[in-house]
Structure 1
Amino acid sequence: MMSEGSTNPKVDWFFSSAKSWQGEFEKLRMIMLECPLTEELKWGVPCYTSKKKNIVLIHGFKEYCAILFPKGALLKDPHGILIQQTENVQAARQIRFTNLQDIVEQVSKIKEYIYEAIEIEQAGLKVDMKKSTEYTIPEELQRKMDANTSLKTAFAALTPGRQRAYLFYFSEAKQSKTRESRIEKYIQHILEGKGLND
């Protein structure tokens, strides 16, 4: 069992094999280990937990590296540094960094957010997720489903997350013609029970 504040050998490979952001990752890891967190490897990235609850993850992208708070939407964000990756992301929030200096200058802010995230978990708070029913079904999709009962049944059988992604993607198009073509393109996907990105 990993103890708080100690490195986990399972996670070492992530840091040693990182092609980029090595210095940034090391600094972020040090910050995490100075907090009352346990280092684990989940989804192939370092994940820091408190009492087995996920608090914060470290991950890298091409343009930036980031720490991700799975329940970041509940953080107060007094410094205005949390980023919602896309409009579809309901709970998680990132703090992004593009260089080591970025991280060094924000150590105390990062820790402040980590401690708040731990408190949120300990209090058992949950992010109030929007239900699929709160998203309106574009009339173009409604017409297709009314005309094709197997499409209607297949859509209803999708997981709420998949339904939301489709509804969001279809509704996002400003013109009816674009919505029509997006829906056309994904009918087969829906019939096969697949999500937008499957």
Structure 2
Amino acid sequence: MNPKVDKYLEHVKTWKSELELLRTIIISCGLSEDFKWRNPCYSFKGKNIVIIGGFKAFCSLSFFKGAILKDTEGILKKPGPNSRSTKLIPFTSTKEVIALEAILKRYIYEAIAIEEAGIQVKIDKTDELNYPEELKSEFLEKPEFETAFKELTKGRQRGYILHFTSAKQSKTRTSRILKCEARILKGFGFNDCTCGLSKRKPNCDGSHKQLQNK
């Protein structure tokens, strides 16, 4: 067991019992324990298999390649509408965890077998990005901005587009685009670290707040 996870569980305020049960079940399947992305994470031969964590309404066991698990019990859920690979199982009581213990182990062993076989989640290559009209307008006025945006990885482009299009009003979408223009021109993704302090680059972990507090 990883001491970082021990410390995490000591200070967790909600779902402590449920998370401790999930931890015991996962470790019994032979996975290595680590602490990544601020949550207990479990791997097999260096490959991430599952991660556990708590939210306001539930705690969860998430499979990194849940999209290709058979899910014979129909218990896997998408963490969000745009999730392509990860799927999770939500829990709101220790009774639910105990009742599903055998099934959880079966799913974990299947996830391990998937990694051993080198199976990857297939992403539909025809899934083109839909640029909002406000972004297209900026591209017309600023060719260098369009070039910088399209040089970003598809994942980073998609992250920005989701941020822009989640705004209901056109003026808000335009405002968001303009605010992000500078970081896009520098090649940064929406969630990338720009201050250089993050301990989990390229993602931002909030370390920039240290600068704000000085």
TM range (shorter): 0.7 to 0.9
- Aligned twin of 2:172: 181
Q: Which has the bigger relative contact order, CA under 8 A and spacing at least 6?
A: 1
Moved more, 116-125 or 183-192: 183-192
Contact 1:132 1:160 in 2 (8 A): no
TM-superposition CA deviations, 1:80-120 (whole Å, max 9, x none): 21111112222111111011111111111111111111011
User: Residue 43 in 1 paired to residue 37 in 2?
Assistant: yes
2:52 partner letter: I
Distance, in Å, in 2 between the alignment partners of 1:23 and 1:139 is 48
Q: Are 1:134 and 2:128 counterparts?
A: yes
**Contact kept? 1:151, 1:191, Cα under 8 Å:** no
- The alignment's TM-score, normalised by the length of structure 1, stands at 0.83
Q: How does 1:144-159 map to 2 (within 5 A)?
A: 144-159=138-153
Distance across 2 between alignment mates of 1:113 and 1:67: 11
Which position in structure 2 is the counterpart of 1:104?
98
Amino acid paired to 1:98: T
Q: Are 2:107 and 1:113 equivalent residues in the alignment? A: yes
* Residue equivalent to 1:86: 80
Task: Single out whichever of 150-159 and 58-67 deviates more from structure 2.
Answer: 150-159
Q: Which amino acid aligns with 1:95?
A: I
Deviation at 1:54, TM superposition (A): 0.9
Q: Do the aligned residues in 2 keep the contact of 1:135 with 1:168 (CA within 8 Å)?
A: no
Q: Distance in 1 between matches of 2:162 and 2:28?
A: 40
Does the C-alpha gap of structure 1 residues 9 and 184 become closer, same or farther in structure 2, counting only changes over 3 Å?
closer
Contact 1:85 1:93 (C-alpha < 8 Å) held by counterparts: yes
TM-score, with length taken from structure 2: 0.78
Residues 1:58 and 2:52 are matched in the alignment? yes
User: 1: distance between equivalents of 2:126 and 2:191?
Assistant: 17
Alignment correspondent of 1:191: 182
Cα distance, 1:57 vs structure 2: 0.9
Counterpart residue identity of residue 181, structure 2: I
Structure 1 gaps of 5+ residues are: 1-6
Matched residue count: 189
**Quick one: distance in 1 between partners of 2:38 and 2:166?**
32
The residue that corresponds to 1:4 in the other structure is none
Q: Which runs of 5+ in 2 are unaligned?
A: 193-214
Alpha-carbon RMSD across the aligned residues, in angstroms, is 2.3
